[in-house]
A and B are shown apart, each in its own frame.
Chain A
Amino acid sequence: MAYKDFRDFLATLEKEGQLLTINDEVKPEPDIAAATKAMSKLGAETPAMLFDNIYGYNDAKVAMNVMGSWPNHALMMSLPKNTPLKDQFFEFARRYDQFPMPVQREETAPFHEVEITENINLFDILPLFRLNQGDGGFYIDKACVISRDLDDPEHFGKQNVGIYRMQVKGKDRLGIQPVPQHDIAIHLRQAEERGENLPVVIALGNEPAITTAAATPLHYDQSEYEMAGAIQGEPYRIVKAKDSDLDIPWGAEVVLEGELLAGVREFEGPFGEFTGHYSGGRSMPVIKINRVYHRQNPIFEHLYIGMPWTETDYMIGINTSVPLYQQLKEAFPNEIQAVNAMYTHGLVAIISTKRRYGGFAKAVGMRALTTPHGLGYCKLVIVVDEDVDPFNLPQVMWALSTKMHPKHDAVIIPDLSVLALDPGSSPSGITHKMVLDATTPVAPETRGHYSQPLDSPLNVEKWEQRLRELLR
């Protein structure tokens, strides 16, 4: 079942006991970020938060931590909120295979209610605030940014929907971080080589399927809208922009239309990033906003990002793991069981696999390094047996404890590519990577004493299922 819009999803969260409304007055800083960070510390099943009494504002509403827990991630897919993580992974993989789901086009959208083209002031339109103490300003970091391939503008799949951090740098001006590995950087490069500005649309406050698809490492020519439809099991609704040929999520709360300015770089940052470190100050591109639309009394959805785990890690955990899983299965369809690449966006990944012969697990680990996501992440790949659940870290630690022999099973490959935000990379963007083989040796690798693995009492799995139903 698809959510109609952002408000529809919030209503479901509320009904399921997964939305906490904070009616007490809060200050924009440091209260909202502090409360959200504190919520993340309370565990993996926390609710979203809606702040509706913010000092200095009359009727501003700010939604935080909207997908910041496993129950909320399950509800994103309209699954029961207590769906186990591994089951969410396999259900996401099943829906991923339904790609592409055709889109549904609409003529008008709720965000057309209010339109502003004169004297735009983003600081007045959005209840912006600082997230972390070292941040250079107020950011927008959970919005969908949409752009098209200028050399192939009719190709729907090459239209990109991505989530990029944006610093509000003036009344109608944003800084943006399109790192070279991102699809929007390809579009910007095309525009700058032509000497033209790149039209962009920014959609804030979306239902969660497009946010999830926008944060999934799809291939360049795969449409995030067609993936959002696959994830939600119904065609995704879009509406055309007025100043360009770009398509916009129908249910957005606020939409900004503008252009990335060709040839402009301007000081940006620092910004507290998902690595648990600030990015430092760099010169980055600038977007000029020409048109704003929003619903009456829009809800500003924002995302606290900082020392893991925060909402980001829930938002990009499964949708990073599944593409890696699918790509590994292309190479080894009968062996790969599951992939957990949830740690710091997959800088650490755990792969569960069968082994055909000695040395096989190491090959699986090295294949992960050469997947599209692996080129920028997968600094450490842990490979475990097919009966170890990669989402169950105590099981993974058991495998490392008992199956891994440092002399034989630790493989280091020097000087590979990694995202530049990895604070350990040196030079920035280059790192050694490691595969740890924590699988049971198989012939012709016959070392160790693994002939008497413990079994379980009969019927444990039946009981597990029964208990889960009793506890639902």
Chain B
Amino acid sequence: MHTCPRCESKKAEVVSKSPVEGAWEVYMCPVCIFTWRSIEPETITNPEKYNRAFKVNPADIPFAENVPALPAKYIK
């Protein structure tokens, strides 16, 4: 498990490893779906240095606008 730099959940998992062994790994966060590569700059990989304007609060995710709108039968 890895910490998501964007929403700071601790649930991110490895989704891919470099074909050349040991070069990098790709992680994905199941909470905010953020995806990153281990060798990206710290402004992407480090939760403390990730651009604050692009941080995601997991509590806000259920309120994101549906595009396109869902038909009424799917709205609980």
Q: Which residues of A contact B (CB under 8 A)?
A: 27-30, 55-58, 60, 121, 123-124, 128-130, 133-134, 136-138, 167-171, 175, 177-180, 185, 188-189, 192-193, 195, 262-263, 265-268, 270, 278, 281-285, 420
* A130, B64: Cα distance in complex, Å: 22
Tell which of A58, A175, A285 touches B33, judged by Cβ atoms closer than 8 Å.
Answer: A175
Q: A193 to chain B: which residues have CB within 8 Å?
A: 71, 73
Residue interface bits B19-33, CB-to-A below 8 A is 1, else 0? 110011010100011
Q: A168 to chain B: which residues have CB within 8 Å?
A: 35
Beyond the given A29-B39, A262-B74, please list 4 additional residue pairs across the A-B interface where CB-CB is below 8 A. A56-B23, A133-B44, A192-B74, A266-B33
Q: B23 to chain A: which residues have CB within 8 Å?
A: 55-56
Are the CB atoms of A136 and B67 closer together than 8 Å? no
Query: Across the two chains, which residue of chain A brings its CB closest to B6?
Result: A136
Q: B43 to chain A: which residues have CB within 8 Å?
A: 133
Are the CB atoms of A133 and B51 closer together than 8 Å? yes
* A60, B16: Cα distance in complex, Å: 15
Q: Which residues of B contact A (CB under 8 A)?
A: 6, 15-16, 18-20, 23-24, 26, 28, 32-37, 39-41, 43-44, 51, 53-54, 56, 61, 64-71, 73-74
Contact (A56, B71) CB under 8 Å given A175-B33, A267-B61, A281-B56: no
Are the CB atoms of A179 and B74 closer together than 8 Å? no
CB distance from B72 to the nearest CB of A (A): 10
Q: A169 to chain B: which residues have CB within 8 Å?
A: 28, 33, 35
Tell which of A121, A167, A195 touches B73, judged by Cβ atoms closer than 8 Å.
Answer: A195
Q: A171 to chain B: which residues have CB within 8 Å?
A: 15
* A1, B58: Cα distance in complex, Å: 53
Tell which of A57, A134, A185, A284 touches B19, judged by Cβ atoms closer than 8 Å.
Answer: A57
Are the CB atoms of A263 and B61 closer together than 8 Å? no
* A177, B67: Cα distance in complex, Å: 7
Would you call the interface of chain B mostly helix, strand, loop, or mixed? loop
* A278, B16: Cα distance in complex, Å: 26
CB distance from A190 to the nearest CB of B (A): 10
8 A/B residue pairs, CB under 8 Å, sorted by A: A28-B37, A55-B23, A133-B43, A136-B32, A137-B34, A192-B71, A266-B33, A267-B32
Are the CB atoms of A121 and B33 closer together than 8 Å? no
Are the CB atoms of A284 and B37 closer together than 8 Å? no
Q: B20 to chain A: which residues have CB within 8 Å?
A: 55-58
Q: B54 to chain A: which residues have CB within 8 Å?
A: 134, 270, 278
